[in-house]
Amino acid sequence: MATRLPIFPGLRDADYYAGRLRMTALSWALVLPIFSVTAAALRGRWKALIAPHPRTATRPVALWLFVLLAAVLTVPRDRTGDEPSYLAMARAVVTRGSLVLNGDPGDLHLSLSSTEPRSVHSPGISILIAIPMALFGNAGIALVLVAISWGFLLCVWRMLSGVVGGDLAAFVAVLLAASFPVVTYAPLVLPEMAGAFGFAYLHWRLVHERWPDWGAAVVVAALPWMHVRFIAGALIYCTYGLLRSEVGKRRRAVARLLVPLGVSLAVMAFLHYRWFGSPSPLAMWGGRADLISPSDALVGSLGVLVDQQYGLLIWAPIMLFAPLGFLRHLNQAREGVLVLAAVIVATAGPGILHEWWAGWSAAARFLVPVTGQLALLAALGLARALRGGPTDRTVAGLVVAGQLAIGVVCALVPGKVFGTFEAAPRNYYLDLLGRVLGIDSLRSVLALRVAEGWKPLAFAACVVMVWLAGSYLWARRLDRLSDAKEGNGSLKMNEKAQHE
């Protein structure tokens, strides 16, 4: 019925969208246990549903996450943005055993530095899906994408288990599986989720476990091939793992971190020199100096956070807790939080300086590779809020409910996360609300992608400053509440001792 209502512009093909909605409804029927888990957690009955210890909870949480992701990926949709380029490279690997594109390249973002038709995109994700695509078609692609996102969520869950406890860690992992950005980027043939998995794995193994296994070696070697933006983050984790290793174990850390990364970069330099005439990681773009624009630093930094269409906080309100978690993590593990912040800036920064909205894509594409790091901060902030008073817990509950509600919307009509077709790049739902209410000004609120002049930037900067200042004041309030509880506890213990 919704597809036939005139209030939904763009939903003209009723049968197509009806089929999509039926499939999505079936998929999200599997997500309903989340609400029962939430209710049980509020009643203090979490342990009856899932074991709190990470080792005993591995199987149920892993199965749960896999089912959620598999359900989301069954929703039919069209390929958008850079996906045709990555698929074309995968087909070239299957049919010709090379990355030279064949047939009509079309709009595949070809490199101008090569005499052959080669893409400007890194080939890692294309190589990864090539064989499954050749064997099973779209099902093979979906299987690889499910495995990547599933691995990412498991890494996030295990990483959080040692910081906020198994209960909240499992809840945050399932919450991410059912909401933005995972529910949106998991089905996309893009390197972002692969980068998110790699960085989450490295943070878990090197910062929390403090031990580089062979999995870390594979990850640091593969990250540069997923996207050149991931090289800086991989170097930061390798350096941290090397410096934190004991003297007797440093040789093993070098063998499992620096050597794989060095070999990977050397092979990349050789192939780039052969293909594009330069060993630079940016050789496919022809060494263009206009790719990086420092003047975009301010608008990009604000846009990836609060732009109405491309802002992370608009689509993932759970990340509002990140500053709260950062302040807590800074007091508990200063080295770890500095590494985390460095990886976030080094990974997202180059993309923000180039084209912060990332072309035709869903929101916050350049922040997706560091979703695990941001989720860690958000989980710490959420845990801190839940230990506060009734007001703090109410705010936390509303934010979590908003995260789930937006996730449902993203799954029901996934194409609309990429912007309004009639007035891109604006938030489709805010634009629709403005049409219904007759308020045209809603279409320009925090629309930084099309903003002109300094006033929209000043307003966005004020919004971000209020968010950061409010987080700081909230942290101070929670500290006072915690000190008061500890003081009351000590007083009761002293009174009990005096009576005895």
Contact present, 73 and 150 (Cβ < 8 Å):
no
Contact present, 364 and 310 (Cβ < 8 Å):
yes
How many Å apart are CA 84 and CA 181, to the nearest integer? 21
Categorize the per-residue pLDDT at 8 as very low, low, confident or very high, splitting at 50, 70 and 90: very low
Task: Please state the φ and ψ torsions of residue 316, each to the nearest 5 degrees.
Answer: -130, 75
Give the residue extent of every domain in the chain. Answer: 31-418
Which of 2-11, 184-193, 258-267 is the least confident region?
2-11
pLDDT at 37: 52
Give the position of tokens 């979906």: 142
Residue type, 261: L
Mean pLDDT of 2-10: 43
Task: Please state the φ and ψ torsions of residue 191, each to the nearest 5 degrees.
Answer: -80, 0
* pLDDT one-digit tens code per residue, 232-274: 999 999 988 888 777 667 777 788 888 999 999 999 999 999 8
How many Å apart are CA 375 and CA 388, to the nearest integer? 20
497 pLDDT above the threshold of 60: no
| DSSP conformation letters of 416-454 | GGG--TTT-SS-HHHHHHHHHHT-GGGGGTT-GGG--SS
* pLDDT one-digit tens code per residue, 125-178: 999 999 998 988 877 888 888 889 888 988 898 888 888 877 788 788 878 877
Identify which of 132, 131, 81, 121 has the alpha carbon closest to the alpha carbon of residue 99. Answer: 121
How many Å apart are CA 275 and CA 100, to the nearest integer? 10
Mean pLDDT of 34-52: 47
Mean pLDDT of 39-50: 46
pLDDT at 9: 45
pLDDT at 45: 47
How many Å apart are CA 354 and CA 285, to the nearest integer? 12
What pTM does this model have? 0.84
